[in-house]
Chains A and B, each alone.
Chain A
Amino acid sequence: EVQLMETGGGLVQPGKALKLTCATSGFTFSTAWMNWVRQSPEKGLEWIARIKPKSTNYATEYAESVKGRFTISRDDSKSSIYLQMNSLKEEDTATYYCIGWFAYWGQGTLVTVSS
């Protein structure tokens, strides 16, 4: 059974940092394109980051809205990906989903940026 579990969400003040973790199992993680997508009532579903497998030298891509502030990474030995979020803004408030390929989604973790 495929499982993806996001952790690390919570309430954080503007300008602070937070790191999300997505632990996976049940599929061949090492060759998977992994993504972070977020969802908010204001912006709907928004793809924000992608990391490809080792064969591509772990190539990454980001949405303009998070480029320079967020960093996606992966640890194939742990079948996990991460999202380091720095300089958080109120508009980053959303539920953050980890996605494997395009078919495997976690249950999401809520990030609230507020003073």
Chain B
Amino acid sequence: DVVLTQTPVSLSVTLGDQASISCGSSQSLVYSDGNTYLKWYLQKPGQSPQLLIYEVSNRLSGVPDRFIGSGSGTDFTLKISRVEPEDLGVYYCFQATHDPWTFGGGTKLELK
């Protein structure tokens, strides 16, 4: 199974700061069709996860442009510029390239 390793496990920030979360994969996430099916989710307290980014760098409609996904192959990053209160929660990367699909362990973004 593909193992997704997220770092850091927790991240303390001041509002307005930039936050950066890494997701490393045990295998390349490039699918046979050339796409890379790596997504990012945010789970706010008491809520279901919500999709932010799909295929590495594409923001879902309505997601602010302060969320930027990047990376390729086995190394991926989610950057949040100018963190706002509604950005707090647990971030997960997720791969849908290889069966079984797998999630990272999560990164908790909290206020310093």
Contacts and interface: CB of A to CB of B under 8 A. Distances in A.
Interface of B (DSSP majority class):
loop
Interface residues of A, number: 16
A46 interface: yes
Contact of A47 (B48, B102, B105): B102
Contacts of B99: 61
Interface string A30-46: 00000000000000111
B61 to A, nearest CB: 9
A108 B43 CA distance: 13
B31 interface: no
A63 interface: yes
A106 B48 contact: yes
A107 B105 contact: no
Contacts of A97: 48-49
17 contacts: A44-B103, A44-B106, A45-B49, A45-B94, A45-B106, A46-B103, A47-B94, A47-B100, A50-B101, A62-B100, A97-B48, A102-B51, A102-B54, A102-B96, A105-B48, A105-B50, A107-B48
